[in-house]
A = this chain, B = another copy of it.
Amino acid sequence: MSNHKITGVFSAATTPLNADGSPDLGLFTEHCQRLLSEGCHGVALLGTTGEANSFSLAERRTILEAALKAGVPAENLLPGTGVAAIPETIELTNHALSLGVTKVVMLPPFYYKGVSDDGLFNAYFQILNRVNDSRLRVILYHIPQVSGIAISIPLIGRLIDAFPETVVGIKESAGDFNNMQAIISAHPGFSVLCGADPLLLPLLKAGGAGCITATSNLVASSLRTVYDNVFDATRAAQVDKAQERINAYRTVSNSYAQIPAIKAMVGLKTGDSAWKRTRPPLVALNDAEYAALSENYAQLP
C-alpha cells in the first residue's frame, strides 16, 4: 500500500443539527475529534452521509472552518467539494485550499443524467484547471445510486493523464468489488477507497487503499484494527472479530433509512439525542423506529 498517495480509514462523518436545522458546530467538531482519537486517519466530512448537498455553500464553509478552529488538523480533513455547478465546486475547493486543506472528495456535476465521459472530463478539467493549485489532491466520488453519475475506468484514466499529481484516488461507493479490482488493475498506484465497510478487508488484500465509510461514525477503532493488521497472519483472529463487529453495526443501520439511523446511533453512543435530527429531504427515524433501533443498538458488541 506504500505507493498510495492517500491511504487509511476515513470517516464519512455525519453532521449533527441544532433544533433550528442549522449545523451544530460544537457537536460536530467534538465528533471529528472522537473519530480521530478512535483511529481514523482522517475525516471525510461533507459527503453523502454528512448531508453536504443539503447545506448551503456558506454553511459548508462554516462547518469546515469550525473543525479547523477546534483544532482538527487540516491534514486530517477531506471535505466534499463537488456540487452541481462547476463555479461552486471551484469555490469550495479554493476555500478548502485557502485553509490549508489539500485533500478533497469531489462529486461530478450531478444534475443531468446520462452525460458522457467527455462531458464529465470537461467538467473536471475546467475545475482542476481553474483551481490550478499543486497542493491539491482529489479523490473522485463514484456513487451512482445517489448522484446518478458513474465515473468510468476510461474517464479515470483520462483524468490521471491530465492531472497525474492531483487526481490520486476514488471513493467507490457503488459497492461493486469487481469494479474496484478493475480500477486497481487499470490504474496501479491510484488509490481505491471503498464506501462499504465489509469490503475494506478484501479491498486491502487486493491492493486497495482503504475506506471512507458511514459505519466508521460508530466503529472507527474496529476499522482501524482491520486496516492495521490485514497483512499480519498472527492477528487474523483480531481482524475477523473487528470485521464481525463492523458488520453487526452496519446490518443494524441498514435495517432503517441508513443516514438517519447512523445519526441516531451516534446519539445512542454519545448520549446526545440531538444527533437524531436530519435535514429535509431526509427524515429522522420516527419514535417506533427509534425505540426498535435503540433495542438493536443495546445488543451490539
Contacts and interface: CB of A to CB of B under 8 A. Distances in A.
A188 interface: no
Interface in A202-239: none
A126 B21 contact: yes
A295 interface: no
Contacts of A79: none
Q: Which of the listed residues A119, A126, A280 has the most CB atoms from chain B within 10 Å of its own CB?
A: A280
How many identical chains are in the complex? 2
A198 B262 CA distance: 47
A165 interface: no
A99 interface: no
A110 B55 CA distance: 13
Contact of A148 (B59, B120, B148): B148
B280 A86 contact: yes
A85 interface: yes
A76 interface: no
Contacts of A87: 55-56, 58-59
A37 interface: no
A84 interface: yes
Given A85-B55, A87-B59, A280 B111 contact: no
Given A53-B111, A108-B281, A148-B148, 5 more contacts: A56-B91, A83-B84, A109-B280, A109-B281, A120-B280
- Interface pairs A-B: 8 shortest CB-CB: A119-B281, A53-B111, A123-B280, A122-B280, A56-B87, A115-B281, A53-B84, A119-B283
20 contacts: A48-B111, A53-B109, A53-B112, A54-B109, A54-B111, A55-B87, A56-B87, A56-B91, A57-B57, A58-B87, A83-B84, A84-B84, A110-B111, A111-B146, A111-B147, A112-B281, A115-B282, A119-B281, A123-B280, A149-B281
